Structure 1
Amino acid sequence: MKRIALNFLAVVFFAWSGPASATPPAGLDEALSRAGMLEEGDPREVIAVLAPYAGTDHPDVAFQLAMAHMRLAIEGVEPADIATAAIQPALEHAQRAAALGSPHVWSLLWMIHANGWGVPADDEVAIGYLVRGVDAGETGAQLNYSLRLYYGTDGVARDVDRACALFRQLARDQQARPHISHAMGVATTLGECGEPADMARGIAMIQEAADIGEPAAEYDMGRAHEYGWAGPIDMGAALDWYQKAAAQGEARAQWRIGIAWVRGEERAQDGAQAVLWFAQSAASGWPDGMVSLAVMYATGDGVAQDSARAATLYRQAADLGNAHALRSLAGMHVNGEGMPVDPVRARELYREAIEMGAQEVPALRNLIESELRRLDASPPADSRGSSDG
């Protein structure tokens, strides 16, 4: 089984399930078995083992060769640097596997096109492959598609009913169940999937996913302990779960660990440590991470004060729809922090922030209005004095 990160959702791939040919050539079963054992190792060894059977009309041979060539093309390479020529052998073997009826190959083609590995990233094309895997009854495709249906992402419209139908089917599969337990747990806490809300049962499902290292589930277990959803509030347990999720790159958890350093929760306060975690969260694209990092730069807490850097981070967060960031930018404009004083622009930003849902800050609103009145009362910048003589 392969697990590959794609956006914020787990991508689970259930690989080769055994030979399908009724009369395989001599040695083919052994070669496929050895290729399966080498699956986590050097893909070149898999290619060498299966190369003598590459012309065999056996879907698992073509599929395993496609997988090995894909790994050879992508492992240790930045996505933007994956060459078309490098991924081409994987695509050729994948097309052969599809023609031979491999149900697994659709997930492989989905991954390549969704991630843009050596080809233009295309959600529509990728999801088309994933749906073909669902129609073929491939468990990995059903799992990944059900998650996208539930959350509504990567070009898939949210459809809870269809997602829940797949969840119920997948829950009977012992290999698949842990990977849908997080979404099923969230649905159970909310009373979705045609069942009444059950917080305790939902949290137990979320923990099932967290126990196998699902970062989003680990983050939610942190929230469960922080807010008392799993029993008495336990900040020590909450932060342990947040730390596990943060270590796997969960941006929300990275931000929350930064907050723990700012507040001194279960540790001494340390602005420099907070900056490190906020920076990771911001780099992962989480707006709250950008805002908190901006605050650290604006105040010089844990890092050299840099108003210009703070303004840039606020703008990045604002562009992602963060109302707090817009309100903070308004404050910087009216105070001239890292930029000329501009109460007119401050008023525009403040109004936009409130319309987006930010809370009113009377002191900031009054300061902006005061600066506007002062500006209206000032003489034009190009006015000239005159005399009667």
Structure 2
Amino acid sequence: MKIFPALCLSLVLAAPVLAQDVADTPLVAAEPQEVFPAELMLLPQDVQDAAIAGMDAADAEVPTGLNAADAAYYRAQIAYIAQDWVLAQRYAETAAAGGNVEASVLAGMMARDGLTAEPDYAAAARWFRRAADRDEPIALYQLGLLARLGDPSLALGEASVWFERAARLGHLNAMVAFAIEQKNSPVPQDAISAREWAERAAQQGSPEGMYQLAQLLDAGTGGPVDASGARAWYERAASNRHAEAAFQAGMMWAAGEGGEQDDAEALRWMRISAESGYAPAEGQYGLMLYQGRGAEADPFAAAYWFSQGARGGDAESQFLFAFALARGDGIPVDLEAAYGWALMASVDALGAPVGDPDRDRLQAGLERALPLDVQQRIRAQVESMR
């Protein structure tokens, strides 16, 4: 990850004031499960509104002309909207057994999400396969997501196979997923395919596709480096609420990569990302405010954003917050909290060691200032939170 140059560490350590808690435990957000796709929800709006209001699926009037399977799927949707999971699953499985493809997808998602019992990936795979055998792209994509789990008992093979099938049928998220699989492939030629699929998704309006394409252009993966194109696609993704893309756009404007250098424009994109809750951007936005890049220096706002990024689990932000606490820049001096954050900053969100000489010097300076028993107490507290 690109970062701004580290701060010059010329610490003048003061006596500690009242100590604050080191942090809430940083969390790495789990990948969210997809909700039932809107394109498979076939109920008229007035029926959906009635379902939200609590209409009983068993008593609902079913349109004339539907066969038994389609009628069961109609009722399954009403029960699903009403969050009557048991009834929804019963109707969905009945409809799926009768050959309704959309019902197979719904039954698979309910089994996957564990809406009536513990999540059952094997059952989900079986239901998705029913629909996938009839080339339902959503089911193919869902099988790819299950294959990513790497559970051999599911017998799904490589995720890329399912993603490619769904992508070729026009599934937008599958295009992005297949592009990522190709990007990560050890086969060099697959990088070309990765760029092609990312561009297809980007051109069709996928913010994640835009972001992936920008990364490929930025790194020269699958073709020549195109910094200007990368910055443009980062900005397009950011304009579609992609926080990481806004962060990268800010970095490129700050460094003058892919076009002119402009701190004010960099600050604008970084703020968008920070306000979206992207932890690395929160720290870097704070650093720009601290350094007066793109606006007047504001150590108080900087300290706030350092704290936000730190609590979000970003190691660079944790170091910056420790630095502010140690110096008393925009926040009262608190050497104990600074030491805790400096220790937190020694590993990244995935638990890998962070090699940062500035952080090491800060930690050493704080250890000279704090009694050994205080250091041991804070170390124990930090270890208990990891």
1:234 aligns with 2:229: no
Choose the corresponding residue for 1:100, options 88, 95, 101. 95
Q: 2-side partners of 1:315 and 1:300: how far apart?
A: 18
Q: 1-side partners of 2:116 and 2:251: how far apart?
A: 37
Q: 2-side partners of 1:241 and 1:197: how far apart?
A: 23
**1:145 Cα offset (Å):** 3.7
- Evaluate the alpha carbon distance shift between residue 366 and residue 282 of structure 1 in structure 2; reply closer, same or farther with a 3 A threshold: closer
On the 8 A contact 1:343/1:368 being kept in 2, the answer is no
1:258 aligns with 2:250: yes
1:269 aligns with 2:262: yes
Q: Which AA in structure 2 matches 1:188? A: Q
- 1:41-120 matched pairs, under 5 angstroms: 43-44=45-46, 51-53=61-63, 58-64=68-74, 67=77, 87-88=82-83, 92=87, 95-101=90-96, 102-105=100-103, 107-108=105-106
Corresponding residue of 1:83: none
Corresponding residue of 2:178: 184
**1:335 Cα offset (Å):** 0.7
Q: 2-side partners of 1:196 and 1:274: how far apart?
A: 34
- Evaluate the alpha carbon distance shift between residue 243 and residue 10 of structure 1 in structure 2; reply closer, same or farther with a 3 A threshold: farther
Q: 1-side partners of 2:115 and 2:88: how far apart?
A: 20
Corresponding residue of 2:169: 175
Corresponding residue of 1:23: none
On the 8 A contact 2:125/2:146 being kept in 1, the answer is no
- Evaluate the alpha carbon distance shift between residue 129 and residue 245 of structure 1 in structure 2; reply closer, same or farther with a 3 A threshold: farther
Corresponding residue of 1:30: none
Choose the corresponding residue for 1:350, options 322, 342, 347. 342
Q: 2-side partners of 1:282 and 1:293: how far apart?
A: 7
Q: Which AA in structure 2 matches 1:180? A: A
- Evaluate the alpha carbon distance shift between residue 7 and residue 309 of structure 1 in structure 2; reply closer, same or farther with a 3 A threshold: farther
- Evaluate the alpha carbon distance shift between residue 12 and residue 164 of structure 1 in structure 2; reply closer, same or farther with a 3 A threshold: farther
Q: Which AA in structure 2 matches 1:269? A: D
Q: Which AA in structure 1 matches 2:93? A: A
**1:92 Cα offset (Å):** 4.9
Q: 2-side partners of 1:373 and 1:90: how far apart?
A: 60
**1:43 Cα offset (Å):** 2.2
Q: 1-side partners of 2:151 and 2:238: how far apart?
A: 27
- Evaluate the alpha carbon distance shift between residue 65 and residue 8 of structure 1 in structure 2; reply closer, same or farther with a 3 A threshold: same
**1:182 Cα offset (Å):** 2.9
- Evaluate the alpha carbon distance shift between residue 124 and residue 325 of structure 1 in structure 2; reply closer, same or farther with a 3 A threshold: farther
Corresponding residue of 2:131: 137
1:224 aligns with 2:224: no
Corresponding residue of 1:359: 355
Corresponding residue of 1:207: 199
Choose the corresponding residue for 1:295, options 287, 291, 300. 287
Corresponding residue of 1:26: none
For normalisation by structure 1, the TM-score amounts to 0.63
**1:236 Cα offset (Å):** 1.9
- 1:144-155 matched pairs, under 5 angstroms: 144-147=142-145, 149-150=147-148
- Evaluate the alpha carbon distance shift between residue 130 and residue 276 of structure 1 in structure 2; reply closer, same or farther with a 3 A threshold: farther
Q: 2-side partners of 1:327 and 1:172: how far apart?
A: 45
1:317 aligns with 2:286: no
Corresponding residue of 1:29: none
Q: 1-side partners of 2:285 and 2:253: how far apart?
A: 13
Q: Which has the larger radius of gyration?
A: 1
**1:89 Cα offset (Å):** 7.3
Corresponding residue of 1:384: none
**Aligned residues between the structures:** 319
**1:65 Cα offset (Å):** 6.0
On the 8 A contact 1:344/1:372 being kept in 2, the answer is no
Q: 2-side partners of 1:124 and 1:369: how far apart?
A: 49
Q: 2-side partners of 1:301 and 1:349: how far apart?
A: 25
Deviations 1:105-155 (A, max 9, x none): 35446768999xxxx9899548677435324334323312413543xxxxx
**1:328 Cα offset (Å):** 1.0
- Evaluate the alpha carbon distance shift between residue 301 and residue 171 of structure 1 in structure 2; reply closer, same or farther with a 3 A threshold: closer
SS of the equivalent of 1:181 reads helix
**1:223 Cα offset (Å):** 1.5
Q: Sequence identity, in percent?
A: 21
- Evaluate the alpha carbon distance shift between residue 294 and residue 95 of structure 1 in structure 2; reply closer, same or farther with a 3 A threshold: farther
Q: 1-side partners of 2:225 and 2:83: how far apart?
A: 53
Q: 1-side partners of 2:267 and 2:111: how far apart?
A: 35
**1:304 Cα offset (Å):** 6.6
**Superposed CA RMSD:** 4.5
- Evaluate the alpha carbon distance shift between residue 164 and residue 10 of structure 1 in structure 2; reply closer, same or farther with a 3 A threshold: farther
Deviations 1:44-84 (A, max 9, x none): 38999x955279653224435655787xx6xxxxxxxxxxx
Deviations 1:332-368 (A, max 9, x none): 1221123333445434433442344333234x65566
Corresponding residue of 1:386: none
- 1:6-21 matched pairs, under 5 angstroms: 13=37
